[in-house]
């Protein structure tokens, strides 16, 4: 074995050591603003897209590297983010999540479902007084979202072929910033669409169908994935269409939920 081969092996071992030992297990407990443990909180490592959930005692653990962003998400709570310490020493985290104030103008539905989804969708719908006021006054709705547009490969390469260089766009692609932006935007849009449904449909509508209250958001996300047309209706703000299509996904989701409980 010559010197060059030895250098390659040494470099590889150092690189491997750095990857393995830079990661650590971050643990902690999640509570609400009253100090009560929060279960079923979704914890996401935004750098690796690894996910886990908190236990019934609010305890969680997840693998992370220094400076990774950990995000904590639970329906009806303001999401929380924190960074893994670069010093390599992370004491057990105590994460406090604040409930999102509920709109007192929302009307809780007490009528029983009829079995006719066209009627039930109107029964399940919550009154959004803010939206009614906007429509009555004729206030303009915002067009698109005010957020930075991620760099695209073709938009960066074309100027290069024409003799110019988009420095910022090139950096965003090479550094991975554009990829992280797209992933973040997809996640934000998903959460926004889930909350759009939850803000307009009473929990009782789902629980009477057999879906546990703590899994309503999970079911809505499953419906988006199993039947993309559901999300199309969300984007069109057509609640009746959303509920009609989600009805098709309920039996499959409930069966999977039943099988999951049997395996536990």
Q: Which of 68, 97, 126 is where one domain is finished?
A: 97
Examine residue 231 and state whether it is found in any structural domain, yes or no: yes
Are 133 and 196 found together in one domain?
A: yes
pLDDT of residue 1: 53
In this structure, the answer to whether residues 144 and 76 fall within a common structural domain is no
- Are 127 and 200 spatial neighbours (Cβ–Cβ below 8 Å)? no
Do 129 and 191 share a domain, yes or no? yes
Q: Are residues 129 and 243 in the same domain?
A: yes
Residues 92 and 170 in one domain: no
**Residue 7 within any structural domain of the chain:** no
Q: What is the pLDDT of residue 216?
A: 94
pLDDT digits (tens, 9 = 90+) for 175-199: 888 788 888 888 989 999 999 999 9
Q: Give how many domains the chain has, as a whole number.
A: 2
Q: Give the Cβ contact number of residue 125 at 10 Å.
A: 18
> Are 57 and 127 within one domain?
no
CATH of the domain at 31: 2.60.40.1120
Note the pLDDT of residue 211.
92
Degrees, nearest 5: CA angle 108-75-184: 135
Would you tell me the crossing angle of helices 177-198 and 167-175 to the nearest 10 degrees? 80
Residue where a domain terminates, one of 47, 64, 97: 97
- Is position 180 within any domain? yes
Count of other CB atoms within 10 angstroms of residue 259: 9
pTM, 2 dp: 0.46
Whether 230 is covered by a domain: the verdict is yes
Residue 175 in domain: yes
Is 126 in the same domain as 87? no
The helix/strand/coil state of 239 is helix
Asked if residue 93 and residue 166 are part of one domain, the reply reads: no
Q: 150 and 85 in one domain?
A: no
Residue 156 lies in a domain: yes
Could you tell me if residue 5 is inside a domain? no
Q: Measured between alpha carbons, how far is 87 from 150 in angstroms, rounded to an integer? A: 31
Strand order in the sheet with 59-64: 59-64, 24-32, 93-97
Residues of the chain with pLDDT under 50: 10-21, 104-115, 117-118, 127, 129, 132-143
pLDDT for 25: 85
How far apart are alpha carbons 165 and 13 in whole angstroms? 37
Q: What is the pLDDT of residue 96?
A: 93
pLDDT of residue 101: 72
Say if 47 falls within a structural domain. Answer: yes
134 and 233 assigned to the same domain: yes
Q: DSSP for 67-131? A: T-EEEEE-TTB--EEEE--TTS--PPEEEEEPBPPP-TTPPPP-SPP-S-HHHHHHHHBPP-HHH
**Which residues make beta-bridge pairs with 25?**
63
User: Are 131 and 237 found together in one domain?
Assistant: yes
What pLDDT was estimated at residue 217?
A: 93
Domain boundary among 69, 97, 125: 97
Which residues constitute the domain of residue 137? Answer: 117-263
Residue pLDDT, tens place only, 213-256: 999 999 999 999 999 999 999 999 898 889 888 888 999 999 99
Q: Are residues 121 and 79 in the same domain?
A: no
């Amino acid at each position: 074995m010559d010197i060059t081969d030895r250098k390659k092996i040494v470099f590889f071992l150092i690189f491997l050591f750095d990857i393995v030992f830079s990661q650590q297990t971050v643990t902690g407990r999640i509570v609400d603003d009253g100090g009560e443990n929060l279960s079923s909180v979704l914890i996401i490592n935004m750098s690796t897209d690894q996910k886990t959930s908190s236990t019934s005692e609010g305890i969680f653990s997840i693998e992370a590297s220094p400076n990774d962003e950990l995000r904590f998400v639970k329906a009806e709570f303001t999401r929380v983010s924190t960074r893994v310490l670069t010093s390599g020493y992370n004491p057990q985290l105590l994460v406090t999540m604040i409930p999102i104030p509920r709109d007192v103008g929302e009307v809780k539905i007490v009528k029983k479902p009829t079995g006719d989804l066209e009627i039930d969708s109107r029964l399940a719908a919550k009154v959004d007084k803010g939206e009614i006021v906007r429509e009555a006054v004729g206030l303009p709705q915002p067009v698109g979202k005010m957020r930075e547009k991620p760099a695209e490969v073709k938009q960066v390469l074309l100027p290069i072929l024409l003799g110019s260089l988009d420095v910022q766009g090139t950096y965003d692609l090479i550094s991975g910033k554009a990829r992280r932006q797209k992933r973040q935007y997809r996640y934000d849009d998903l959460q926004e669409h889930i909350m759009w449904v939850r803000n307009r449909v009473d929990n009782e509508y789902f629980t009477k169908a057999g879906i546990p209250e703590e899994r309503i958001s999970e079911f809505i996300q499953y419906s988006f994935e199993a039947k993309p047309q559901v999300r199309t209706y969300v984007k069109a703000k057509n609640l009746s269409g959303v509920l009609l299509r989600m009805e098709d996904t309920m039996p499959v989701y409930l069966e999977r939920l039943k099988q999951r409980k049997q395996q536990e």
